[in-house]
Structure 1
Amino acid sequence: MTENTVQAKKLSRIQQRNRDIIMNAALDVFSQSGFRGATLDQIAEVAGLSKPNILYYFSGKEEIYVTLLNKMVTSWSDPLREFDADGEPIEEIVGYIERKMEMTREFPRESRLFANEIIQGGSRVMDHNVAVIKPLFEEKAALIQRWIDEGRLAPVDPQHLLTSIWATTQHYADFEAQTKVFLGQGDNVLDRGTSYLTDLFRKALQPE
């Protein structure tokens, strides 16, 4: 039974709970093992459900994986949509960095899931990226370029600016094992990281 078939039926409270349990367990497994390394047996074990129970809700691990990716990529782009064209440019960009760091704090597994998919070529998410995220990316890069042309930001490459923000903010989740070794653990690490990155980009973007 596919996800669409299940969704076409009105899910009972227990069915919705089971589906949420499966998605959460799959997020754990996929974020640690990637798509290739994950198995339905692993997902079933983490979920505490039988494999046939999982296959009632999803046709297989690929459907679970793609469902997770599409949901995550859409929500991951929400902070970028919040750029205000009428706002103060540096504050808008600093606010974006803060929102990205908050997502790193709240959704580290989702960040690692996406990173693993991209490392493996991104075939299951690239169509969505091209259709949905790329136009948004280009729109916001054009807005940043407008701010630069108006003399309200230092002359930087807008596209590389945005990808640099992605790299630096998501690093704390994607390389969590390494950051624990060098930076320690706990919320204080992300608080310090947020302060560092906002100060760094604020200085880099200040027009002369």
Structure 2
Amino acid sequence: MRNRRLILDAALVVFSRDGYGGATLDSIATGAGLSKPNLLYYFDSKTAIYVTLLSQLLETWLDPLIELDPDGDPVEELLGYVRHKLDMSLELPDESKLFAGEMLQGAPRIMNHLQDELKPLFDRKCAIIQNWIDAGKLAPVDPPHLIFSIWAATQHYADFGAQVSVLLGGENPSVRAAAHLEQMFRKVLQPQTP
């Protein structure tokens, strides 16, 4: 288990930095402090390592969406989701970059997961949001595009971290970003009172 964890940790750094095409088993083995033959004892290919990483990543990154409570206060549930996604992006930028890289390639290694697992979850959560809208508990928004907007607004801080750092003069964006996103999404989500 320890060596598998070393390999996966090293691979995350290599894949998020170099992309799937640029990553090599040699660079992953070096990062893990193992020989290439030792690495191949635990994983039979670069693809096996990559798919394992992506599978673990998806499980972690989807947890906050899974936790969206249909019985909770809709605005607070969604703002909590925004905060959780932002925290994850700031704390786990390599994971976000790894996923973004796979998406930019057309998701060739995880398309089945997107279709079989993410799509049903996404549809269920969109239905919950639509139910909240229909009950007058949320402003009328487009549920799929609301979720896309949350993903885009939060993961930008990970996927474009170098740009964010330069433009903010090296300032840690966490406090201002959280306040801004809460203000923005609260205005979008708050139902109008008659």
Give the TM-score taking structure 1 as reference length. 0.90
- Secondary structure, in 3 states, of the residue corresponding to 1:155? coil
Structure 1 residue 116 corresponds to structure 2 residue 101 = yes
Cα-to-partner distance string for 1:79-113 (whole Å, 9 max, x where unaligned): 00111111111000000001111111221111000
* Residue 5 of structure 2: aligned partner: 20
Alignment match of 2:90 (pick from 105, 115, 133): 105
Distance 1:189 1:88 in 2: 27
Unaligned runs of 5+ in 1: 1-15
Structure 1 moving runs of 4+ over 4 Å: none
User: What is the identity, as a one-letter code, of the residue corresponding to 2:96?
Assistant: S
Task: Report the Cα distance in structure 2 between the residues aligned to 1:191 and 1:55, rounded to whole angstroms.
Answer: 43
Q: Post-superposition shift, 1:119?
A: 0.2
Which one of the candidate residues 173, 177, 187 is aligned to 1:193? 177
**Aligned counterpart, 1:139:** 124
Residue 161 of structure 2 corresponds to residue 176 of structure 1:
yes
Query: d(CA) in 1 for partners of 2:175 and 2:19?
Result: 28
Q: Determine helix, strand or coil for the equivalent of 2:39.
A: helix
Measure, in 1, the Cα distance between the counterparts of 2:177 and 2:35: 41
Distance in structure 2 (CA, Å) of the matches to 1:142 and 1:46: 44
Q: What CA distance in whole angstroms lies between the structure 2 residues aligned with 1:106 and 1:178?
A: 17
Secondary structure of the residue aligned to 1:169 is helix
Q: Which amino acid aligns with 2:183?
A: D
Matches within 5 A, 1:37-48: 37-48=22-33
- Give the residue type in structure 2 aligned to 1:122: A
* Letter paired with 1:205: L
Which whole-Å CA distance do the structure 2 matches of 1:106 and 1:133 have between them? 23
2:187 is aligned to 203
Indicate the residue corresponding to 1:63 in structure 2.
Answer: 48
Q: Which residue of 125, 131, 134 corresponds with 1:149?
A: 134
Alpha-carbon separation, structure 2, partners of 1:103 and 1:135: 23
**Which residue of structure 2 lines up, in the alignment, with residue 13 of structure 1?**
none
Q: CA deviation at 1:185?
A: 3.4
Q: Which runs of 5+ in 2 are unaligned?
A: none
Count of residues in correspondence between the two structures: 192
Match of 2:77 in 1: 92
| Conserved? CA contact 1:172–1:190, under 8 Å | no
Instruction: Measure the CA separation in 2 of the matches of 1:20 and 1:119.
Output: 26
Q: CA RMSD in A?
A: 1.0
